[in-house]
Structure 1
Amino acid sequence: MKKLHSLLLGALLLLTGPAALAQKFGYVDSEFVMGKMPAYAQAQQELNTLSNTWQKEIESQKKDLDKLYRNYQAEEVLLTEPMKKKRQDEILKKEQDVKAYQNKIFGYEGQLFKKRQELTKPVQDQVFEAIEKVAKKKQLAIVFDKAGDLTMLYTNPTHDYTEFVLEELGLASEDRNQPGQKGATRTVTTPKTPAGDADVDTDQDAAAPASKTRQPARPTNTRPASRKN
């Protein structure tokens, strides 16, 4: 993606020639700007709270799964083959339910992803509107985002319009164009699926003879790791 941006920029400059070089341009650090906004910090805090709540629900479900498995192990010698089959199916079903719920919450385009978009989009819109106003006031033909995919090997502070954007948002500091220390807002990371949770091959289970005893996979209690927006 970064190479693509660089190639597109180079092609644009070559096609337009000196006319493009004569245009005014600037750059803005959108990540730094959002870090200064109370609404963004509040959104991050809400995301952290939701993420922790959902994670506790998943851990609770895993404890229930572990309890089912331990009970089965303790009573296995007393069970008939049909009873074993029924208990094993219960454990496997519970394991699948836990995985499905975890994916629903923390998976690609899951509830956490959608909630992050919902909470941060209004803040991003505010920043983009402020950037547009600054670009028009300063007659900038191009505005780069220092926090984006485009690699900026060198930046002259003269072309840094970040502080002007903060002024538009009412968040300017006394030292113009001098980014201060970033706010301590946390970014929620999508928890990783525990390595011990192996997928269940339901097709193979269905094809197995009824008389054959299936041993359910030993569930794990590994805590998923807790990710920058």
Structure 2
Amino acid sequence: MKKLLPLVCGLLLISFVATAQRYAVIDSKYILEKLPEYKESQTKLDQFSAQWQQEIEKKQVDLDKMYKDYDAEQVMLSDELKKKREDELFNKEKEVRDLQKKRFGFEGDLFKKRQELIKPIQDKVYVAIQKLAVDKSYDFILDKSEGITVIFADPKLDKSDDVLKFLGVK
């Protein structure tokens, strides 16, 4: 019985080692930055963002001018005209906020453009990662980019370059 216990423990240990999970680490940010189409899409996205920001800033300058004019003329205006100008200022301010929300808010134009330009590239990378996992029999793959999900990873486990090879990028 005393000889059987170490034997059973040894067999259990061997079975745990034999069924150990295989895993790899990738850096999706590194992969995306190496893809030319991602860089092009990011540049287009930045251009749209800058254009929309200029549009908002122009409207903000107009609003600021309206406020200055109102402050300068306020003493000479009747109560009725003051109310009318304050309403105009309120509406113009609301218009600027609405435009800002439309362009940069949650599910705004920037979000939609990002979905249109970047998501297909991310999907392509995701398919490559899945293929790598299946081909190399990995049980799971961790992404170490922009997060604290992986505190330490042995560099030899990083398979980002394998994903790039699968995508045809050197």
Superposition TM-score tier, normalisation by shorter sequence: 0.7 to 0.9
Q: 1:29 to 1:21 in 2, by over 3 A?
A: farther
- What amino acid does structure 2 have at the position aligned with 1:144? L
User: Which entry has the higher C-alpha Rg, 1 or 2?
Assistant: 2
Counterparts in 2 of 1:28-67, with a 5 A limit?
28-67=26-65
Residue 87 of structure 1 and its aligned partner are, at CA, apart by 1.1
Within the candidate set 140, 144, 147, 1:146 is matched to 144
Q: 1:135 to 1:146 in 2, by over 3 A?
A: same
CA distance in 2, matches of 1:78, 1:21: 86
Q: 1:20 to 1:125 in 2, by over 3 A?
A: farther
Partner of 2:117: 119
CA distance in 1, matches of 2:17, 2:116: 41
Q: Matched residue of 1:140: which SS?
A: coil
TM-score in terms of structure 2 length? 0.83
CA distance in 2, matches of 1:79, 1:146: 63
Q: Matched residue of 2:141: which SS?
A: strand
Q: Matched residue of 2:118: which SS?
A: helix
Aligned residues: 156
Counterparts in 2 of 1:1-229, with a 5 A limit?
18=16, 22-147=20-145, 149=147, 151-172=149-170
User: Higher helix share goes to which structure?
Assistant: 2
Residue 151 of structure 1 and its aligned partner are, at CA, apart by 2.1
Residue 149 of structure 1 and its aligned partner are, at CA, apart by 4.3
Gaps of 5+ in 1: 1-16, 173-229
Q: Matched residue of 1:41: which SS?
A: helix
Residue 31 of structure 1 and its aligned partner are, at CA, apart by 1.0
Instruction: Kindly report the root-mean-square deviation, in angstroms, between the aligned alpha carbons of the 2 structures.
Output: 1.9
Q: Among the aligned pairs, what percent are the same residue?
A: 44
Q: 1:75 to 1:137 in 2, by over 3 A?
A: same
